[in-house]
Amino acid sequence: MAVKLHAITFDCADPEALARFWAQALGQEVDASDFPGIATIGMGRVSPFYVFQKLDGLPAVRNRAHPDFATGEYEAECARLVDLGATVVTEVKENGIRFTTFTDPEGNKFDLVDE
């Protein structure tokens, strides 16, 4: 037997706002939800789907793992993510690899890799 990635879950203070940011970043729609404190993107449509769950008292140390996304339109996508509310943490260009580490509006890290 093996396991498969089912969902990527973000603990956050404002699930609806963070889901809107990620929906715009991913070119997706936020799902309708009957669950208070939870917002989703792609549930039942894509795998993995994204879950944003309200967590009071977020831990001070976060993000021992983070998602990487890739694009063939690197500069344009970097600018678009910043316009949506992401913050650039660091930019790396070495050994033929280029990526930028960002934080989303709630401080969750993610990378954008140039394909």
Fold of 67-115: 2,3-Dihydroxybiphenyl 1,2-Dioxygenase; domain 1 (3.10.180)
Domain 1-56: CATH class, spelled out? alpha beta
What is the pLDDT, as a whole number, of residue 3?
64
67-115 has the same fold as 1-56: yes
| Amino acid making up residue 24 | Q
115 or 85: whose pLDDT is higher? 85
What is the pLDDT, as a whole number, of residue 63?
67
What is the pLDDT, as a whole number, of residue 29?
96
Q: What is the pLDDT of residues 20-77, one digit of tens each?
A: 999 999 999 999 988 889 999 999 898 899 999 998 876 777 666 789 899 999 999 9
